[in-house]
Amino acid sequence: MKITTTIKLDTYSCELIFTATDQMKNDSEKIYKKYKIKVEEEDEGENEGILLTTDISKYFLLIDLKYLSHNTIAHEIYHAVVRVTEDRGIVDEEAQAWLCGHITGTIYKFLDKKKLQIKHG
């Protein structure tokens, strides 16, 4: 199973493609190959979630369905927020907090619509 949604972040002129999948390694490898992204050593094993960047206009946030928990979602959203804002030289915590809230709300609304159960922890 694989579900995907694209979150347009117009303020930052980019998009975040969120995917929850049961084929994490396969799906991340397709992105690495398609966008010619160098595989980092820490990304070669099994990951609960991962954030991949092609350039500052497109970010991919993938979470393995077997690890779909509030903790994993928050962890990966944090990486996305830091990457998007740092890529633009933004270190203002308020801007980062608003972006975090926007991404979180959008992802949870999407997961709720798909009726996926999110684990606690």
Specify if 13 maps to a domain: yes
DSSP per-residue letters across 67-85: G-BHHHHHHHHHHHHHHHH
Specify if 119 maps to a domain: no
- Span 90-106, pLDDT tens digits: 999 999 999 999 999 99
Specify if 118 maps to a domain: no
By residue range, what is the domain housing residue 65? Answer: 2-113
Specify if 76 maps to a domain: yes
Specify if 67 maps to a domain: yes
pTM of the entire structure? 0.93
Specify if 41 maps to a domain: yes
Chain Cα centroid distance, residue 13:
16
- Span 58-93, pLDDT tens digits: 999 999 999 999 999 999 999 999 999 999 999 999
Domain count, the chain: 1
How many Å is the Cα radius of gyration of the chain?
14
Specify if 65 maps to a domain: yes
Specify if 121 maps to a domain: no
- Span 17-33, pLDDT tens digits: 999 999 999 999 999 99
Q: With DSSP H G I counted as helix, E B as strand and the rest as coil, what are the percentages for the chain, rounded to 5? A: 50, 25, 25
Rounded Cα–Cα distance for residues 93 and 85 (Å): 10
